[in-house]
Structure 1
Amino acid sequence: MLTGKQKRFLRSKAHHLDPIFQVGKGGVNENMIKQINDALEKRELLKVSVLQNCEDDCREVAEQLSSGARAELVQVIGHTIVLYKESRENKQLVLPS
């Protein structure tokens, strides 16, 4: 579980990132969760964009992705989701305590 200070730190780091995944009409599926999990292992922090034609609510999509990938939900703002998961082999970010 992330503290408020850690979430603020991660939000500042994620501000300059572009979304690398898009959730569309099909919603969240196993393949997408696997790809997001792999990307989180390499990057630790990423953005996901929820398209207008997605039938699910952005909050629901964020919950599905974070629980499926066992990642921390940092932020949902508009149609953009920020996820964080500490990498086992590729540690890049050092969170404030």
Structure 2
Amino acid sequence: MSKKSKLQDIKALRGIGHQLDPVVIVGANGISPTVIEEISRALHDHELIKIKIPAGSGEERKACADAIANATESSVIHHIGRMVLLLRNNDEANPKLSNLSRFGFA
């Protein structure tokens, strides 16, 4: 995949992300095993999800987003403020649940 094609894909994914509501909100207790499990389940079902992370400095929010991505084996597509857009492809995703399929991306 060329660099330009990859950037176009990221732009398209970010466009889909604007239309999504957060499916998981990470509370003041932070990243617990239960939260990771719920995010992982949502990624399995929907492939592309938006989550809301706790307030903090930009560096703290970036570290939180990266920690969640590492724990769920997903990729951070975009993060701005407290919103994080995560992607984990699932070859066996249900087309009725997958945000990629629903928005014609896959």
- Which one has the largest radius of gyration? 2
Give the aligned partner of residue 54 of structure 2. 51
Unaligned 5+ residue runs, structure 1?
A: none
- Contact 2:25/2:52, CA 8 A, preserved across alignment: yes
TM-score, with normalisation over the residues of structure 2? 0.76
Unaligned runs of 5+ in 2: none
Of 66, 70, 94 in structure 1, the residue corresponding to residue 73 of structure 2 is: 70
The answer (yes or no) to whether the contact 1:21–1:49 under 8 Å persists in 2 is yes
| Deviant stretches of 4+, over 4 Å | none
1:32 corresponds in structure 2 to 35
The alignment yields a C-alpha RMSD, in angstroms, of: 2.1
Identical-pair percentage: 24
Say which structure, 1 or 2, has more relative contact order (CA 8 Å, 6+ apart). Answer: 1
Q: Does 1:61 align with 2:64?
A: yes
* Aligned positions, number: 92
Cα-to-partner distance string for 1:23-74 (whole Å, 9 max, x where unaligned): 1211112221111111111101111112337xx8210110011000000100
Which structure has more helix as a fraction of its residues?
A: 2
